[in-house]
């Protein structure tokens, strides 16, 4: 069962959103956060953040920052 979003979750969402801002529009960032992601085994970034997998989400963005495919 998924946990209820906490202040820590919302802080993580804001941080991820800020990291994605140079690459994507507001609508694209929303989709990135809320769509299943193959690098998260089909989970959404928000689900991963809720489940405590913050590092996995940031690793994807790290690859994007390094000009890798995401």
Sequence ranges of the domains in the chain: 7-65
pTM: predicted TM-score of the whole model, two decimal places: 0.85
In tens, the pLDDT along 5-60 reads 789 999 999 999 999 999 999 999 999 999 999 999 999 999 999 999 999 999 99
Query: Looking at residue 1, what is its pLDDT?
Result: 41
- Distances in Å between the Cα of 52 and the Cα atoms of 14, 29, 32, 62 are 15, 20, 18, 18
């Amino acid at each position: 069962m998924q946990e209820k979003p906490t202040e820590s979750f919302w802080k993580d969402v804001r941080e991820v959103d800020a990291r994605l801002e140079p690459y994507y529009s507001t609508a694209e960032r929303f989709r990135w956060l809320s769509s299943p992601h193959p690098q998260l085994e089909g989970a959404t970034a928000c689900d991963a953040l809720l489940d405590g997998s913050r590092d996995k989400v940031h690793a994807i963005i790290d690859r994007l920052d390094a000009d890798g495919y995401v």
